[in-house]
Amino acid sequence: MTDGVTPSTEAVLVAASDESEIHAPHPLKIGSVRWRICALLFFANTINYMDRQVLGVLAPLLQTKIGWTEIQYGYIVEAFQAAYALGLLVAGGIIDAIGVRLGYALAIGLWSLAAISHSLARTPLSFGVSRFFLGLGESGNFPAAIKTVAEWFPKKERALATGIFNCGTNVGATIVPLIVPWIAVTIGWQWAFLFTGCFSLTWLLVWWTTYKSPESDPKLGAPELAYIRSDPAEISKKVPWIRLLIYPQTWALLIGKGLTDPVWWFLLFWLPKYFSSEFGVKLEGLALPLVVIYNAAAVGSIGGGWLPAQGVKLGLSIKAARRSAMLLCAIAVMPIMLIGNIHSLWTAIGIISLAVAAHQGWSANIFTLASDIFPKSAVGSVTGVAGFGGAMGGILAAYIVSHVLERYHTYSGLFIGAGLAYITALLIIQLLVPKQDLVRHA
């Protein structure tokens, strides 16, 4: 996102007490209610990743207690991915139709109940059902959050607001390994799902009782409302996603996400099992490695957005700056191919940390690439198509990972594939979109 993020204060002329004297302009206090809304979105995304990651952290323990095979665990992951992919195709339209207050409430209500239902699961099938409804509910999170930002922030602040609430995902991924192992060991694994699910329900209560549109919020002053609505009115038209498939630019983004998002899903759902099987890390010892890795991801997310701006300052075109950043990220992931020959836990953690940081940097740029080559009216739709491609790639990856581990009991080939995914994706993007021309008729 390339919008500026520093708001300029408005100046007003104030009449003096004798009505004939006019003082110099002074800044008008705009207000900060919109940032409280942003804080709500930050916590929603924190909880989103907490609910999502609990199963991955507990996977080594549950594999022993429930007795599932690698392939059955793969099916459980695939159930989440399938629901998430399907939800991405319809969630935005539903939220547009019923409004963000009700839409977000329904999404988090569904995923809260699904998260809690994991505590009742005792078979791979019941875990798969819970994961399916979790994925279906969570698919509404980002469409609802992005729409909320659009309603509450002028364009110049939307990139900043989105960056702030998106940091919640890394915070959530960091909190889970800190608290879930302790809960599971102390009072039982079922309570870990109940604990995080109740966080979601608490957020839902706060959202439903406090959220209003800017025009209806009594806490929002006139100056802040005017600031929020300060952008020129624009005609917004919905672009059918099927129409976008005629453009090679759409396929470049879909394939790019389809090849690289599965690497993130693989690491999110299988890292605890990898550390357990390859290095003998117990449940209580997972916290520090995962905290280090997901904090590296947060740094990569910020750094990935920073790199193209520096390239532009050095005189590069937007295309050259963007693709140079993506190339650097793709190269930074490649050392993960050596993981099969690494026998030091902290060396492996260092290489994986570099890879997840590079993935987040890549992710920031491939989504921004959509706004580089598509008009504003189509960016949301093409982003949804690309996200669907990433989720479908995640389903295929879960199938491959589970069958490889069940048959060969090694992660080496999987990490080699992960290391090659980004450079392959960049080559395909370059072949399909060599000039980065703007699509003008979408």
Digit-coded pLDDT (tens) for 186-204: 999 999 999 989 999 999 9
Q: What angle do CA 361, 46, 367 make, to 5 degrees?
A: 30
More confident residue, 318 or 389: 389
Asked if the model's pLDDT at residue 371 lies above 80, the reply is no
* Residue 237: band (very low, low, confident or very high) from pLDDT cuts 50, 70, 90: low
CA angle 109, 43, 382 (to 5 degrees): 75
In this prediction, residue 162 carries a pLDDT of 74
Q: pLDDT > 90: what percent of the chain? A: 57
pLDDT one-digit tens code per residue, 79-99? 999 999 999 888 877 887 888
| Euclidean distance between CA atoms 52 and 197, whole angstroms | 10
pLDDT at 133: 97
Residue 356 confidence (pLDDT) above 70: yes
The answer to whether residues 188 and 317 belong to one domain is: no
pLDDT at 8 over 60: no
The pLDDT, as a whole number, for residue 138 is 93
Mean pLDDT (whole number) for 148-156: 84
User: Is 319 part of a structural domain of the chain?
Assistant: yes
188 and 196 in contact (C-beta within 8 Å)? Answer: no
Report whether 96 contacts 384 (CB < 8 A): no
* Cα–Cα distance, 367 to 166 (Å, whole number): 13
Q: Which of 229, 259, 287 is the last residue of a domain?
A: 229
292 and 419 inside one domain: yes
CA distance 256 to 322: 14
Q: How confident is the model at residue 437 (pLDDT cuts 50, 70, 90)?
A: low
Average pLDDT over residues 345-374: 89
Domain around 376 = 239-435
Q: Are residues 56 and 129 in the same domain?
A: yes
Q: Does 105 fall in a domain? A: yes
Say which residue, 318 or 272, is predicted with more confidence. 272
pLDDT exceeds 90 at position 13:
no
Q: Is the pLDDT of residue 442 over 60?
A: no
Is pLDDT above 50 for 6? no
CB 10 within 8 A of CB 28: yes
2 domain-assigned: no
Per-residue pLDDT tens digits for 413-434: 999 999 999 999 999 999 999 8
Instruction: Based on the fold, state whether residues 183 and 284 are members of the same structural domain.
Output: no
The CA distance from 27 to 30, in Å, is 9
Q: In terms of domains, do 225 and 243 share one?
A: no
124 and 98 assigned to the same domain: yes
User: Per the structure, how many domains does the chain have?
Assistant: 2
Q: What is the pTM assigned to this prediction?
A: 0.81
70: domain CATH number is 1.20.1250.20
C-beta contacts of 339-344 below 8 A and 24+ residues apart = 339/411, 339/412, 339/415, 340/410, 340/411, 340/412, 340/413, 340/415, 340/416, 341/412
Closest CA to 319 of 424, 430, 428: 430
Give the pLDDT of residue 36: 93
Please name the amino acid found at residue 113: L
* Same domain membership, residue 246 and residue 212: no
Amino acid 440: pLDDT: 58
The one-character DSSP state at 335 is G
Q: Is the pLDDT of residue 1 over 50?
A: no
* Tens-digit pLDDT profile for residues 33-91: 899 999 999 999 999 999 999 999 999 999 999 999 999 999 999 999 999 999 988 88
Mean pLDDT of 311-323: 87
Q: How would residue 282 be classed by pLDDT, with cut points 50, 70 and 90? A: very high
Residue 143 has pLDDT above 70, yes or no: yes
pLDDT of residue 436: 61
pLDDT mean across residues, the chain: 86
Among residues 172, 205, 229, the one where a domain terminates is: 229
Note whether residue 14 is domain-resident: no
Mean pLDDT in residue range 223-227? 90
12 vs 435, higher pLDDT = 435
Residue 192 and residue 279 share a domain:
no
